[in-house]
Amino acid sequence: MLITEMVAVLFPHLARVCIDQVFRAGTTVRIRARTGTMEAACPDCGIQSRRRHSHYERRLSDTAAGGQELLIHLRVHRFFCRNTSCARATFAEQIPDL
């Protein structure tokens, strides 16, 4: 079983992201992941955008796995809102269930 398949079974809420690495740091299990999002909707106006501004890392704590703390390092994208009448210039993509 590939590690991505195992992670998808154990943590189904991560099925939409690409797992790059799973490793242990002390008593914490850490998962490095990224999204493959090419397009996202502005949360204010709802217009879809493909124009990426940047990316950054979110750190998410999750419930214990096998009695160990789980920390997810998730790389997400920030997009430009292409609606010139929208007050929001950029927005971060949202990952459902995370």
Chain positions contacting Zn ion, by CB under 5 A: 42, 44-45, 81, 83, 86, 88
CB of 42 to Zn ion, least distance (A): 3
Cβ closer to Zn ion: 3 or 88? 88
Q: Cα separations (Å) of 22 from 29, 53, 93?
A: 7, 27, 23
- Following DSSP, what letter does each residue of 3-44 receive, concatenated? HHHHHHHH-GGGTTSEEEEEEEETTEEEEEEE---S-EE-TT
CB of 48 to Zn ion, least distance (A): 10
Cβ closer to Zn ion: 2 or 38? 38
CB of 90 to Zn ion, least distance (A): 9
CA 49 distance to own-chain centroid: 17
In angstroms, the CA 2 to CA 77 distance is 26
Cβ closer to Zn ion: 19 or 81? 81
